[in-house]
Structure 1
């Protein structure tokens, strides 16, 4: 996903598997409660309760890192089907029995059932974030809680999934609320639509005719376009597709369709129902094993778990004890099913906090945290969910239940805003880049007596310079760790970085707009990180700088992968850009660099060794084409890659910054050697290696010369890149003389 990474969590907030009693003029005694806490009544479906247990356990085990269940995340899709069935059954039954639907009654039941537990978990997550998460994650967590409180976090995560700048950030502690948001949006929109459809149907047909047939047609009018859109978007934009409500509506519609035809399903022959039920159970279990994150999801792949769940639900009444209920109806399964909502709410924040406090967890440790989540889940179920659900004050007063829902919505929203604006006060930004450049000595107006910063403190031959060695207390530095995420090249703010789906190059121009000498900066974000240094050079020399960069797209002829799929838009972008750079818009000099990638051949993502060879050939072919067109090329060897979030580490260990240092050899084990080999035999191509000024010693420091070197796991801060301008300027002058 991002397909979202384990980072891509999910679940649902399926309604209780019971029918809430109709309003009564006076309070009535509370219904009898089974041992596992659910109301016992004629409409209870033990197989559905057990199916909820199967679904939530698959998600918990997958988040715990159990590799035997690569598709455990599809438990959320099972819940979507369950929710669509239960909600629609309640609505259609009420419409048929009373001729109307009390929307305030419906929303009141949902509010008292779902919102108190969610409010408790969201508020507690803020407290845990304050105690255990690095400060760099507080701001995002505050906004995530706010959007979760209003059940819109799935849209926020959808946009973040296509934001390359956020791709290396740790997952949100409330990321799992995305699926709750999808269901809440369904709960808000579906009842009025059903009520409207029923009214129109009855107006156009004589009284007394069943509304179920026409409602089923309405359901198909929603499900078919949604599934079609889901299949398309899952292939073209999988990150966004994963979180969108529009790509999930068909899953809820499957359950809704089952509820509409439920009466007919009950007349199914028992033998057929038994086969159908167990086949569906097999499909659900198989989906946990055969589906993985490399597949376009949800799309057509999600048909396996959703149709499997639908088959279990459809066959249940007719199959009787011979169906899956013999397994799903067992007391332990029903007990877990009754806790499923609370379990889902609690397990993910606890995992995120544990990983932040203890570092990377083993599978055994992660599963221990997951097992521990049963305790707060039970306490929430016992002392929050049930008391509010059955409280006399709201049991027979939908208005009071709505008021309770408003309160439970306001709590996380207000708490998240307070956390954002008071617990995490905005910090000052870094020093302006021009000032840093002046300190580095490139600008003609530079004051020789001004203190030097960043790479400027290092010797002219910086390799081994102890001024760049890691220390525990480097003193005050810029940008502040909390502001480092935003210490970006100007081209990001100005919208010049092409996004994942763009096939046409975007450009920004800096320096002298009418200059006779033009530099083109070309490549992915590892090329874009050099823009501050090149801007300073262009300004000082009166040159023109034009940028052509695209997220996660190296400038080479080989096809690369985006996640686990061919990055087709990158291939098109490269083809168009190469024609531009060798045609009428030919620059005097191309400067390029790139990170490491996996190459694609056909539909197959190559392994590491094959990828290195394919990438090397792709670079050689592209640079040779530039040289044949008379364009000189400077290849900047890729920078060391710490693979730990340096800004987050610096905020977490301000007095033990050596914990943020990484081994130089490991950090350099990327694409650099291939860049050297690809450039070696080509005329008009010069390789420039400035890594000794980024990591001078055998361990790469987080701070050099009072400047934070990295803004995340692998990108230089714009401030530090700017301090490399004099060294890059000297390298460009040598290249142009050759």
Structure 2
């Protein structure tokens, strides 16, 4: 037993010594710089994912995990986990805090479009390195640059990297602690990394067709790219390539890295199997061994400088791009604007590296067991002016972090203090202003910065099926009486069915149910209008499945009335004008066949950018203070006659309700009516305005109830 343990320890030590003898690869610094440079170029000029982030993650695993394992292999390694964490904080946070702080100031002082609750939440997520999961929870697709995209979207990869860094530190510390307990775990690191790499890759492969948006952001889908880098750091020296082939490996590998964005759509494919192309290219460069003319070029002074500024360049370029698009009022990037963004990003990245990153980085080597660094640091502070300057700079950035961490809490307090959604009807008549109610001079409500977070109980009580929820489950079955609205003791049932544009009618229906003694039950799913058969090729399979369960329920209960919307624009195909999707007709036929009464509501106007993305109406008003410019021209959205009327007119117990006059007057659909903001975003009604529609809605559905 003793011989076996000694042999094992000797083998592990030999492996660690071999890793420690590997010279630093300056050509990989150049590769890292090129990878991030291509990220920037493709983000700005092409609007596609270049694969540079995937290469960056591989190299992060190679450098960081390799350094943790090299240190863990020292016999006199310190068992204090604080030091690697502190070094990592000093490496990552200074530049991040600078960029986040200035982005927050821009949002506070001059860019109201960024004062959205989801972006406020993302500041906290970015600071605490869970931005990838925050974006996944917000169902935020990785979009090309536009004025409506989050300026913090790109920080998902920094979150993945930060999470991996903590895991790598933990792995190194476990090796050190185990050695002190008499166990040698170093020889198991390679097999562990191999298992994690394969498992993560298989998971990414499986999740790609199932849920690509989550796959793109998930730490577990991305882990294989990082652990593969760690494997190369640990065992790459054993992969011998003939000297004559090393140069070829470097050339082919670099060509693969640079051509990724031209050949593949990374947002739709990575980190699934297609990511093997850029990752494989980076692996070939690593196997090139740093030998040859091309490797020499990658390791030259300019390329190493590009590698040095890669991190701050990545941090700066995206918020600068989004802010510039907002400030110039464009949804696409012109060549001149793109050049300006790139130049300013490079200049700021260089300044950040020289004046923030380098001075505040931990320059001393990681302490070994027994070293007393705290006392030495105190003595240095007393004796060295540069040390005191670094301490002041670090303290200032710490204050920035505290300030940023309070933003989300302050926002929640503001939302709470904004009060309820029921406004004084004499001062805020809302829709009643269209039919003669007096409108006193006062500031519109709710606060346009907060209105997007003011949602109905259907959302807050989880009575709507959301993206990712099991489509075979109706929330009313899980939540029971919590999802029973109107008068719980009522003897008549109104079912609200469809997507979020149907759900927004719950506030007036809830109020009417309480007043007139009927119950309201929501059978709604996010982005899932109701139909019996999908004939438009627009809606997801989960929506088809959910609707089948809704139809089964309606056939069973035979409600007194079903309410839903009847029109929508084909935003998915670039149209901004209302139509009746063919799929809707199949639902109306189902209702007629089952003799179920139906009240069909014509949809409200949608305000979008030219590319179909959502334009926040309240933030538009906050920005330019023009309720008409931020509204919609009536005939640009509405057809001359309600297109659903001709279909429903010949059906028994069905009624087409033309709501266009509830949102538009004199050919225009303004952003504010009766001192109330009509919309909470670009196409959903604000809860206060929908409440003001209750009397109008009752006039239309009273005959059924």
Query: In 2 relative to 1, CA 624–77 (structure 1 residues): closer, same or farther, beyond 3 Å?
Result: same
Contact 1:295 1:301 in 2 (8 A): no
How many Å apart are 1:640 and its aligned residue? 0.6
How many Å apart are 1:650 and its aligned residue? 2.4
Contact 1:477 1:707 in 2 (8 A): yes
How many Å apart are 1:646 and its aligned residue? 1.1
Query: In 2 relative to 1, CA 232–669 (structure 1 residues): closer, same or farther, beyond 3 Å?
Result: farther
Contact 1:149 1:412 in 2 (8 A): no
How many Å apart are 1:558 and its aligned residue? 4.3
Are 1:119 and 2:97 matched, yes or no? Answer: yes
Are 1:176 and 2:143 matched, yes or no? Answer: no
Are 1:286 and 2:286 matched, yes or no? Answer: no
Query: In 2 relative to 1, CA 690–141 (structure 1 residues): closer, same or farther, beyond 3 Å?
Result: closer
Partner of 1:51: 31
> 2:680 aligns to what SS in structure 1?
coil
| Inter-partner Cα distance in structure 2 for 1:159 and 1:452 | 35
Q: Over residues 209-234 of structure 1, what are the superposed CA-to-partner deviations in whole Å (9 max), with x where a residue is unaligned?
A: x945x322110222222223333334
Partner of 1:25: none
Query: In 2 relative to 1, CA 344–294 (structure 1 residues): closer, same or farther, beyond 3 Å?
Result: closer
TM-score (norm 1): 0.78
Contact 1:560 1:597 in 2 (8 A): no
Q: Which moved more, 1:343-352 or 1:714-723?
A: 343-352
Contact 1:143 1:417 in 2 (8 A): no
Query: In 2 relative to 1, CA 561–375 (structure 1 residues): closer, same or farther, beyond 3 Å?
Result: farther
> 2:695 aligns to what SS in structure 1?
helix
Q: Over residues 456-515 of structure 1, what are the superposed CA-to-partner deviations in whole Å (9 max), with x where a residue is unaligned?
A: 12238xxxx9x99xxxx9732222212311332221111101111231222322223343
| Inter-partner Cα distance in structure 1 for 2:535 and 2:282 | 37
Query: In 2 relative to 1, CA 251–457 (structure 1 residues): closer, same or farther, beyond 3 Å?
Result: same
Query: In 2 relative to 1, CA 113–532 (structure 1 residues): closer, same or farther, beyond 3 Å?
Result: closer
- 1:342-357 residue pairs with structure 2 within 5 A? 342-357=312-327
How many Å apart are 1:580 and its aligned residue? 1.0
Query: In 2 relative to 1, CA 587–405 (structure 1 residues): closer, same or farther, beyond 3 Å?
Result: farther
Partner of 2:383: none
Query: In 2 relative to 1, CA 474–64 (structure 1 residues): closer, same or farther, beyond 3 Å?
Result: farther
Contact 1:82 1:255 in 2 (8 A): yes
Query: In 2 relative to 1, CA 691–641 (structure 1 residues): closer, same or farther, beyond 3 Å?
Result: same
Are 1:63 and 2:43 matched, yes or no? Answer: yes
| Inter-partner Cα distance in structure 2 for 1:452 and 1:199 | 66
- Work out which of the residue numbers 640, 648, 663 in structure 1 matches 2:605: 640
- Work out which of the residue numbers 160, 164, 172 in structure 1 matches 2:138: 160
Query: In 2 relative to 1, CA 650–293 (structure 1 residues): closer, same or farther, beyond 3 Å?
Result: farther
- 1:217-366 residue pairs with structure 2 within 5 A? 217-265=191-239, 267-292=240-265, 295-317=268-290, 320-321=291-292, 324-325=294-295, 328-360=298-330, 361-364=332-335, 365-366=337-338
Contact 1:343 1:373 in 2 (8 A): yes
Contact 2:486 2:520 in 1 (8 A): yes
| Inter-partner Cα distance in structure 2 for 1:345 and 1:191 | 23
Query: In 2 relative to 1, CA 108–293 (structure 1 residues): closer, same or farther, beyond 3 Å?
Result: closer
> 1:539 aligns to what SS in structure 2?
helix
> 1:56 aligns to what SS in structure 2?
helix
Give 5+ residue unaligned stretches, structure 1. 1-21, 23-40, 440-449, 600-605
Partner of 2:584: 619
Are 1:501 and 2:468 matched, yes or no? Answer: yes
> 1:619 aligns to what SS in structure 2?
helix
Question: RMSD across aligned C-alpha pairs, in angstroms?
Answer: 3.9
Give 5+ residue unaligned stretches, structure 2. 1-19, 378-386, 477-482, 609-614
> 1:554 aligns to what SS in structure 2?
coil
Are 1:216 and 2:190 matched, yes or no? Answer: yes
| Inter-partner Cα distance in structure 1 for 2:125 and 2:158 | 11
How many Å apart are 1:106 and its aligned residue? 3.3
| Inter-partner Cα distance in structure 1 for 2:159 and 2:536 | 31
Partner of 2:54: 77
| Inter-partner Cα distance in structure 2 for 1:451 and 1:204 | 77
TM-score (norm 2): 0.81
